[in-house]
Amino acid sequence: MNLTRQVIKIKSRRGLQPNLEIASNSGKTVPPSPKLDQRHDFTAKLRQESVLPRVISYVKWQRAVNHALLKGNAPPEMPVDFGPLSMNLDMTTACNYACGHCIDWDILNSPVKYAHEKLLSSLSQLIERGLRSVILIGGGEPTLYPRFGDTVRFLKERNIQVAVVSNGSRNEKIREVAHLFTPGDWVRLSLDSAYDQTFQAMHQPKQNVSLEEICAGVPGIREKNPGLQIGFSFIVTWRGAESAEKVSVVPNIDEIVPAAKLAHDSGFSYFSAKPFLRRSPEGGEVMDTGAIEDYRSTIARIRIAINEAKKLETPTFNIVESTNLRLLESDTWRDFTKQPNTCHMQALRQVLSPRGLYNCPAHRGVGKAFIAGKDAYADTGSVAKTQEATTSILRHFNAEHECREVTCLYKPVNDWIEDAIKSGINPEELEAVADRGDYFL
């Protein structure tokens, strides 16, 4: 079947349209929602020709599960060759910073760690089951993992898309493997400031490292791989913001423009602005809107700064506003807290850390989101048990309740998959689009 010639017949019943183009009955094209940028358009990513068959397989399986449960029968097991398309891989819980705005403060610097050969075995098992991308991120500083470079090499030798989110303190480790990255891969440094005084106050590095030194290391990485996209990440913080531990967060709105200029002058590919999130008592990552002093004035200041920063854009340098930031500004972030009962993305994107396998980056390290141990994919026996656990969490993790405070960018794609399961159409009538080479979920 030529999937590219099929027509999407699914229409959202939840009021929030997925960010994709669909063919209407009149034959005209309905434009995508402006709320999601390309990086967060997960529906479009799952419609790529090489990926969509996995979605179709999942839809068919979930339909069979629902049918069996309706009849009072035992549901069918997950297809034996099924696995996530994308992984957030926490290399280590070790971190050499003590950031006051850290979302994962309570899980850092624990004694748990991978046995490296088992980690590589897990990655091999995942690749056999269709893994397409890995983001080395979170739960610690990835470049502190002793075999960081070896892991990147292992993944790139198997044509896996790789991204790295780092605090920038060990740019030499990234530079050592920069030549391995291919188009579509990226590196993002979490810096959040324009001046070293603010950087020190926000990040509290445990070693002698400055913002200027970190930025000075970027040209060396670009020299090894001029095509590699390197981002300057800036979490926008405001007066009144506190972490879950009631630690006051250093405000930095006034540094958006000079930080963007620093990124431009230092050779970064883009400057990315996103809003501060905190860990809620229920465990999810949520917007701290209630703590924003003088809400309207604060949002206006952010908009003015972003507009000013955009004047720095060139053909090789972009200002990127996260979807979360634009939802906060338009006061529509609550639209993305209304989740369907089932989070289907749990089966297509997971988080593997030394603390175990979790169902979502927003619930990293939270007990209710735990699927299996750190060796969840280490061999065929553990994979079978992990598939059982994934099947169970798909049925029992009520995203409508558990994620009710989370501004979840997976909501549109979850709604799209939910409609595909319940619509009654032939799943193979889902329309594919040409691959654009972005498999990060």
Query: Tens digits of per-residue pLDDT, 319-334?
Result: 999 888 888 888 888 8
* DSSP code string of 70-86: HTTPPPPPPPTT---SE
pTM of the predicted structure, to 2 decimals: 0.88
Write down the pLDDT at residue 26: 30
Q: For CA atoms 361, 363, 364, 367, give the dihedral sign.
A: negative
Cα separations in angstroms, 66 against 14, 344, 415: 20, 14, 16
Helix axes 295-309 and 256-266, enclosed angle (nearest 10): 20
Q: Which long-range contacts (CB under 8 A, 24 or more apart) does 147-155 make?
A: 147/116, 148/91, 148/173, 148/177, 149/173, 149/176, 149/177, 150/116, 151/91, 151/119, 151/120, 151/123, 152/177, 152/180, 153/177, 153/180, 154/120, 154/123, 155/123
Cα–Cα distance measured from residue 297 to residue 20, given in angstroms and rounded to the nearest whole number: 33
CA neighbor of 168 nearest in space, from 135, 211, 201: 211
Write down the pLDDT at residue 227: 95
Cα–Cα distance measured from residue 432 to residue 55, given in angstroms and rounded to the nearest whole number: 11
Q: What is the mean pLDDT of each run of 10 residues along the chain (441 residues)?
A: 34 37 32 60 94 94 93 91 95 86 67 93 96 91 96 98 97 98 97 97 92 97 97 90 70 96 98 81 63 83 95 97 86 86 96 94 88 95 95 94 88 93 82 92 95
Q: Is the distance from CB of 174 to CB of 221 less than 8 angstroms?
A: yes
Write down the pLDDT at residue 103: 66
Write down the pLDDT at residue 6: 34
Write down the pLDDT at residue 18: 37
Cα–Cα distance measured from residue 33 to residue 20, given in angstroms and rounded to the nearest whole number: 7
Q: Is 4 helix (H, G, I), strand (E, B) or coil?
A: helix
Cα–Cα distance measured from residue 21 to residue 23, given in angstroms and rounded to the nearest whole number: 7
Query: Tens digits of per-residue pLDDT, 312-370?
Result: 999 999 999 988 888 888 888 888 888 899 999 999 999 999 999 999 988 888 889 99
Q: For CA atoms 397, 399, 404, 406, give the dihedral sign.
A: positive
Q: Which tokens in the block code for residue 276?
A: 């501060």
Cα–Cα distance measured from residue 407 to residue 411, given in angstroms and rounded to the nearest whole number: 9
Cα–Cα distance measured from residue 190 to residue 36, given in angstroms and rounded to the nearest whole number: 22
| Domain map (residue ranges) of the chain | 3-76+410-429, 86-337
Residue 77 pairs in a beta bridge with: none
- For strands 370-372 and 229-236, give the pairing: unpaired
Write down the pLDDT at residue 96: 85
* Counts for the chain of helices (H) and strands (E), in that order: 15, 14
Write down the pLDDT at residue 329: 84
Q: CA angle, 141 as apex, 166 and 256 as ends, to 5°?
A: 40
Q: Is 355 helix (H, G, I), strand (E, B) or coil?
A: coil
Q: Which tokens in the block code for residue 30?
A: 């309905």
Q: CA angle, 293 as apex, 255 and 201 as ends, to 5°?
A: 40
Helix or strand run (H / E) with residue 102? none
Class of domain 86-337: alpha beta
Cα–Cα distance measured from residue 271 to residue 310, given in angstroms and rounded to the nearest whole number: 10
CA neighbor of 51 nearest in space, from 19, 81, 80, 85: 85
**Where do we find the tokens 């498999």?**
439
SS3 string, 110-163, reads CCCCCCHHHHHHHHHHHHHCCCCEEEECCCCCHHHCCCHHHHHHHHHHCCCEEE
Write down the pLDDT at residue 27: 35
